Amino acid sequence: MTEKTILRALAGKILPTPPIWMMRQAGRYLPEYRATRAQAGDFLSLCYNPDLAAEVTLQPIRRFGFDAAILFADILLLPQALGPKLWFVEGEGPRMETTTTMDQVRALKSKDLIHDTLSPVYETVKILARELPPQTTLIGFAGAPWTVATYMIAGRGSKDQGAAHALKTADRATFVALIDIITEATVDYLSEQVKAGAEVVKLFDSWAGSLKGDDFVDFALKPAARIISALKALHPGLPVIAFPREAGDGYIGFGAAVGADCVAIDNSVTPEWAAAHVQPGGCVQGNLSPVHMVSGGEDLVRETRRVVTAFRKGPHIFNLGHGITPDANPDNVALMIETVRSA
Ligand code: CP3
């Protein structure tokens, strides 16, 4: 049996101590990340520099000994590889050339050409597969089609994903064609990450929560199911983590419906609710609020223990409910890990 605790949890094992990693564990809250990013010049140059991207992936492993490393890249690299220009505005976030008409969807590059842009990402994975400690699991990732489409349609992040919802209503054929192209390209992108050495992949549907009713089924659940079944056909036994963030009741049965081995839980639901309603379906990941990485103290210790206790009766990977924020204190991360491992 494998020694890697993350892989054991993903296989459904209940471990005495849950394995741990953290969304955005390589990020601006770490001074060593900020130094390497400055060396790269900017965020995208860092993503496309395999040596430096591997270096920042390894930094939180060295500092904290997390049980998994997540490839350092971004969900917006795939749409960029399909053609639209991408840039980041300091202090604001991503900007992207918009894709809102059928002509623009048809003008996107063929999925066979994405690797021209994305090959440095695969190179990063190869370096990591060589350099990670033997007990550390390497996680690759991509954005889920709906979340990626929201950025392609609006050209930026938005609170309510209004532009994507509007296109879905006004020109459904274009919207569906875009979702299909992203879905197909995501299979190839993740498959290349696996060939390069990723042991697990995670699909981030950060904006799944704004899809309701049939839309949730059509544009969160079905694309994830297509991606996961295609990947598992190519790579039998590949463990997959799905993250339909803020899905609420949509979390119930989601893992089985999409064929994921683990469902990541955000902190809009309590760990007790997720343990009762989601964990019976298999491994769950989550779900301490990232706010505790800023505020620390007794609240952090109490809430960390609460998450561990709530999920103790089933397979669990300890994580935050969303990414750690730049204002977090690394000492609080150390305290969280110590608390999980002694709980
Ligand atoms: O988790 C990790 O450590 C792995 C790397 C990773 C990043 N982004 C690095 C990053 C992962 C898995 C992502 C996923 C991602 N990117 C998502 C899905 C998860 C989520 O957070 O909901 C989304 C929506 C994006 C798109 C994106 N990238 C946005 C909206 C932003 C700007 C917001 C922000 O935090 O600045 C980014 C930038 C980004 N991606 C940073 C990092 C470390 C910060 C960039 C910097 O150094 O300035």
Which residues are CB-contacts of 258 (< 8 A; sequence separation ≥ 6)?
A: 221, 224, 225, 228, 242
- Residue 213 is part of a domain; what is its CATH number? 3.20.20.210
Ligand 1 pocket by C-beta < 6 Å: which residues?
23-28, 37, 43, 70, 72-76, 93-94, 141, 157, 204, 206, 323
Catalytic residue among 74, 171, 215, 218: 74
Kindly report whether the global pTM for this prediction surpasses the value 0.95: yes
Count CA atoms closer than 13 A to 338's CA, side-chain side. Answer: 11
Q: Does residue 63 carry a catalytic annotation?
A: no
CA 46 to ligand 1: nearest atom: 47
Nearest CA to ligand 1 atom 31: 93
* Pairwise CA distance, residues 338 & 330, whole Å: 13
Catalytic residue among 29, 33, 122, 151: 151
How far is the centre of ligand 1, averaged over its atoms, from the C-alpha of 73 (Å)?
8
Q: How many domains, in total, are found in the chain?
A: 1
Q: Does residue 8 carry a catalytic annotation?
A: no
* Pairwise CA distance, residues 246 & 244, whole Å: 6
* Pairwise CA distance, residues 238 & 157, whole Å: 31
Provide the residue-wise pLDDT of the chain in tens; the chain has 343 residues.
568 999 999 999 999 999 999 999 999 999 999 999 999 999 999 999 999 999 999 999 999 999 999 999 999 999 999 999 999 998 899 999 999 999 999 999 999 999 999 999 999 999 999 999 999 999 999 999 999 999 999 999 998 999 999 999 999 999 999 999 999 999 999 999 999 999 999 999 999 999 999 999 999 999 999 999 999 999 999 999 999 999 999 999 999 999 999 999 999 999 999 999 999 999 999 999 999 999 999 999 999 999 999 999 999 999 999 999 999 999 999 999 999 999 8
Residue ranges making up the domain that contains 110: 5-342
Nearest in space to 257 (alpha carbons), one of 266, 247, 267: 247
